[in-house]
């Protein structure tokens, strides 16, 4: 079945690294994504990774993909107050060309 799972909450101290984890079910997914939702807004694509990659880095963001364990993670270095948001893990469900979203992880930043 189609399922993407992630923890609901994460709290980190400003300046520390945040790591948000996700597991997915479709082993044939070609793309996996992280979307960010800021308060009162829709989702925006933060980053994505193609399934033949293990890692992707983009400035403060590092995405790690473990296909064997169907595990995806997002690391945000030097977390800032502006990083407070809900982060959604998602996979491109290959059989229907649609994206399946996880429940979202709410990241809060402590001073």
Nearer to other proteins, 14 or 38 (CB): 38
Site for other proteins in 28-87 (CB under 8 A): 30-31, 33, 40-45, 48, 50
The candidate with the shortest Cα–Cα distance to 87, out of 42, 35, 43, is: 35
Nearby residues of 72 by Cβ (< 8 Å), 6 or more positions away:
21, 22, 23, 24, 32, 34, 49, 63, 64, 65, 66, 89
CA-to-CA dists, residue 102 to 38, 70, 106, angstroms: 16, 14, 12
Min dist CB 78 to other proteins, Å, is 26
Min dist CB 53 to other proteins, Å, is 12
Does position 3 interact with other proteins (CB under 8 A)? The reply is: no
Q: Confirm if 52 and 46 have CB atoms less than 8 A apart.
A: no
Min dist CB 15 to other proteins, Å, is 29
Does position 95 interact with other proteins (CB under 8 A)? The reply is: no
Point out which residues bind other proteins (CB under 8 A): 2, 4, 8, 30-31, 33, 40-45, 48, 50, 88, 92, 97-104
């Amino acid at each position: 079945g189609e399922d993407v799972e992630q923890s609901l909450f994460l709290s980190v101290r400003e300046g520390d690294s945040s790591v948000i984890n996700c597991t997915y079910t479709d082993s044939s997914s070609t793309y996996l994504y992280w979307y960010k939702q800021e308060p009162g807004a829709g989702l925006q694509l933060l980053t994505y990774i193609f399934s033949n990659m293990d890692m992707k880095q983009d400035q403060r963001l590092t995405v790690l993909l473990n296909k064997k364990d169907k595990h995806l993670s997002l690391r945000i270095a030097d977390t800032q107050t502006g990083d407070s948001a809900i982060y959604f893990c998602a996979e491109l469900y290959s059989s229907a060309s649609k994206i399946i979203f996880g429940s979202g992880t709410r990241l809060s930043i402590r001073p």
